[in-house]
Amino acid sequence: MSLWIFLCLSAVASWTVWLLPFSKEGSLYLTVLKLRFDFPFNLILPIIGTCLPGVIAILWALSQGRHQLLQMISTLLRWRAPIRWYVLALALPWSLFWVSFGAVLLYFPSSRPRPSFLWFLENLLLLLPFGPTWEELAWRAYAVRELQSHYSQLKSALIIGVFWAIWHIPLWSRTLGLNREATAPVLISGIVSVIAWSVVFSFVYNRSAQSLPVVILLHAAFDSAAAAIFPSVQSGQLYYVGLSALLSVCIAIIFATSMRVSSAEVLAD
């Protein structure tokens, strides 16, 4: 019951912030190592909303006792995972979105500049301290860990994936600027993709000995790759989001099969 109350509070808090009427023009900026990062005012509320579940998770775990909080925070300190997990976290989202982008370009040629891998890395570094870190504290370090004490790894990943997808809908509605024809296909593809990637995230989280830094990097790479490539799809955007969702499901099925095999081996032992 405690977990479900936490999820409801997280959704209400984020949705309240995202749906606030705020349209001020302008931006804040931050300079790091001579690189300037701009934060448009219209993105401040989305950033705050994505961070709130992590803040609530810390307070919620603390309310359940110091031991619960230390268990959650300990996953954030497990950065000494094998390097292959960090490579996978960077390469998998970029490769999937690029394959989808390349396939769409075959049918919808475009003269627009191709997504820059350097921009992808810069954006990734910018994203790391915000949504990816605070979301993963909430979804993997707290929610998935709680779910896995009652359900299998795969079922836990699917449960949090469905919630995570629904949680995103107001954010997508606010930030994507979809027209009426594109709204339903994009939202459906987004929901399918998020559920599929929830399986991938949970697989990586558990196989890397619950290393939250690896999953945070994976989350940031996913967001950064999507942000780098989607604007470059001048035509065939619906095909692009549909294809990337389909490929996400295929990858999730591969990882889900591995998760089920591992669970069966544990039960057999």
Distances in Å between the Cα of 147 and the Cα atoms of 3, 139, 160 are: 8, 10, 8
The confidence score (pLDDT) of residue 177 equals: 72
The confidence score (pLDDT) of residue 267 equals: 47
The confidence score (pLDDT) of residue 38 equals: 66
The confidence score (pLDDT) of residue 26 equals: 57
The confidence score (pLDDT) of residue 224 equals: 95
The confidence score (pLDDT) of residue 33 equals: 62
The confidence score (pLDDT) of residue 160 equals: 98
Dist CA 77 CA 75 (whole Å): 5
Quote the domain boundaries for residue 129.
2-268
User: Mean pLDDT per segment of 10 residues, for the chain of length 269 residues?
Assistant: 94 95 65 65 85 97 91 94 97 96 90 84 91 97 96 96 97 80 88 98 96 98 92 85 96 93 54
Dist CA 21 CA 12 (whole Å): 16
The confidence score (pLDDT) of residue 167 equals: 98
The confidence score (pLDDT) of residue 74 equals: 95
Dist CA 177 CA 182 (whole Å): 10
Q: How many domains does the chain have?
A: 1
